[in-house]
Structure 1
Amino acid sequence: MATPSLAASAYSRLANIGGASSGLPTPGIGSQTSQGGGFAQMLESAIGEVSKAGANSDAQTMQAVQGKGDIVNVVTAVAESEVALQTLVSVRDKVISAYEEIMRMPI
């Protein structure tokens, strides 16, 4: 059975997408890593995390349907997936907004 600490750790992992503790560069001056990464690598990693969260949610749901899983694990996995997707959509909206702002700048 899942514990509250399991849910808390899941939310903290999602909160760290793109943060320093996940090994990804944080926004700011000089944010490129020494391996040549940068914004594109951070986005690729974030999309991968969303994909992993979705796959985990699907796997937990299938286990529950087969009678092998715990409903708490299913709810936690679905919540993780939902938060990750909302974060990705928010980042997408900010990128589009920034692009539109740049396009409105006079030359």
Structure 2
Amino acid sequence: MLNTSLTAANAYNLAQRLTNQAQSDNTLQKAADTNTDFGAMVKEGVMGVLDKGQVAEKTTSAMVHGKADVVDVVTAVAETEVALETMVSVRDRMISAYEEVMRMSI
């Protein structure tokens, strides 16, 4: 029973990550199609991560008070984790691009 629950939870987590990745790809395509400011785009991404973190905190608090299910908490925390991992990945790519530009000869 426990193994089946873990397998189902892992499958759900993978499906959620793939969905979030597809949504991120759509967001990136929309950003490429419009003429937006890079700083505004970064700010929007950070605000999205913060919003997901706040939802996870509220869901956890609701579970402590008996108003939410464990599945809701796990889902909210997983969404926050994926958003944070995406933000860290973007940060790493930006640093790598900056370092590459700095190595270029003038």
TM range (shorter): 0.7 to 0.9
TM-superposed CA distance for 1:106, in Å, is: 0.5
* 1:53 counterpart SS class: helix
Identity score, percent: 41
With over 3 angstroms needed to count, the CA separation of the structure-2 counterparts of 1:82 and 1:67, relative to structure 1, is same
Q: How far, CA to CA, are the matches of 2:96 and 2:28 in structure 1?
A: 26
Aligned residues: 94
Q: Normalised by the size of structure 1, how large is the TM-score? A: 0.73
Q: Where do 5+ consecutive residues of structure 1 fail to align?
A: none
Q: How far, CA to CA, are the matches of 2:30 and 2:54 in structure 1?
A: 22
TM-superposed CA distance for 1:9, in Å, is: 6.5
Q: Where do 5+ consecutive residues of structure 2 fail to align?
A: 1-8
Q: How far, CA to CA, are the matches of 2:95 and 2:62 in structure 1?
A: 38
With over 3 angstroms needed to count, the CA separation of the structure-2 counterparts of 1:46 and 1:21, relative to structure 1, is closer
Is residue 11–residue 80 contact of structure 1 (8 Å, CA) maintained in 2? Answer: no
Alignment of 1:11-50 (within 5 A): 12=19, 14-15=20-21, 16-17=23-24, 19-20=25-26, 24-26=30-32, 31=33, 33=34, 36-50=35-49
Supply the AA of the counterpart residue of 1:93.
D
Superposition RMSD in Å: 2.5
Write 1 or 2 for the structure with the bigger share of helix: 2
Equivalent residue number for residue 50 of structure 2: 51
Equivalent residue number for residue 94 of structure 2: 95
Q: Normalised by the size of structure 2, how large is the TM-score? A: 0.74
Equivalent residue number for residue 74 of structure 1: 73
TM-superposed CA distance for 1:44, in Å, is: 1.5
TM-superposed CA distance for 1:39, in Å, is: 2.4
Is residue 17–residue 82 contact of structure 2 (8 Å, CA) maintained in 1? Answer: no
* 2:66 counterpart SS class: coil
